A and B are shown apart, each in its own frame.
Chain A
Amino acid sequence: MTQEPVCQIVTINLRSGLHLRPISQIAELARRFDGDVWIRKDDIKVDAKSVLDLMTLNAQFGMNVTLEATGDGAAQVVEELSELFARNFDIDSQ
C-alpha cells in the first residue's frame, strides 16, 4: 500500500539562505525518522537526510521549498522541519 506523502511549503527567511549550518540541522532531524524525507525546490528533489544532497539546492533567502515525507511519523517530521524553518534554525540574523 503506497502512503500519500505529507507535504508542506516553507519559506527561507535566513539572509544567508540554506547554508551548511541549517542544512546540518535539517539532515540531523530527518535522520531520526525511518521513512523518506525530501526537500523540493523547483524541479529538484533531494534527500533531506544527506548533507551533500541538500547543498546542491542552492536555496537562497526568500525562496520557497517543499518539505515532503512518507512513512510512519511523516506528519511529525514535516511539522518539526517546518518549525525549524520558522525559527530560522535558531541562528542569529546574518
Chain B
Amino acid sequence: MKLSDFVVPGAILPVLDANSKETAIRAMVESLKKSGSIRAEDEESIVSAILKREELGSTGIGNGVAVPHTKHPSVDELIATVALSVDGVDFASLDGEVVHILFLLVSPPDRPGDHLRGLENISRHLRNQNFCSFLRQAKTSQQVVELLQEADNNQLD
C-alpha cells in the first residue's frame, strides 16, 4: 500500500485555515466531500464520528502531527486527506504542541487491516525528516501530491 493509493489528491488542503480542532476536522471532511470521495449526506456523520474518537484521546501524536480518523460504513475502502497549517492547530496533542501536518483517515469498519496499513504508511514516512520538512514547505496540492509520490518511491532518503 502506498500513500498515493489512499490519499485523495483533490481533497488535499495545502493551506489549512482553521483555528480549532473541530474547524480543522470539518474542513478536511468537507474537502473529501467536495472531491466526491464521500457523500454529502454522510459528511456530518463522519465529522461526528471523528470528533467522538478525539474524545477518547487526542490523535495529536506529537511532533506537530495529527491523525484524526474514524471507521465509517459509507466507505468501502480507505480514503484520506492531508492538510497543512502554517500557524498550527491546537489539537490537545500528547506533547502539548500545535499540529502543522494533519492526515485524516476514513476506513471501512470491516477491514481494520486497511486502517493499520494506512497508519503504518503515514508513520513510516513521517519518521523521515526530509518528508516532514518538505511537506511543511508545500504550498499547493500538486506539490503535496508529488511529494507523496516521491515518498512512495523512496526518493526522499
Contact = CB atoms under 8 A, between A and B. Distances in A.
Interface of A: 15-21, 24, 27, 51-53, 55-61, 94
A51 B112 contact: no
B57 interface: yes
Interface string B106-122: 00000011011101101
Contacts, number: 56
User: B-side binding surface: helix, strand, loop or mixed?
Assistant: helix
Interface of B: 56-57, 59, 61-63, 65, 67, 69, 94, 112-113, 115-117, 119-120, 122-124, 126-127
A16 B62 contact: no
Contacts of B123: 52-53, 55-56
A27 B123 CA distance: 15
B122 A55 contact: yes
A61 B116 CA distance: 10
A52 B115 contact: no
Given A24-B94, A52-B127, A55-B123, A19 B116 contact: yes
Contact of B112 (A24, A55, A57, A60): A60
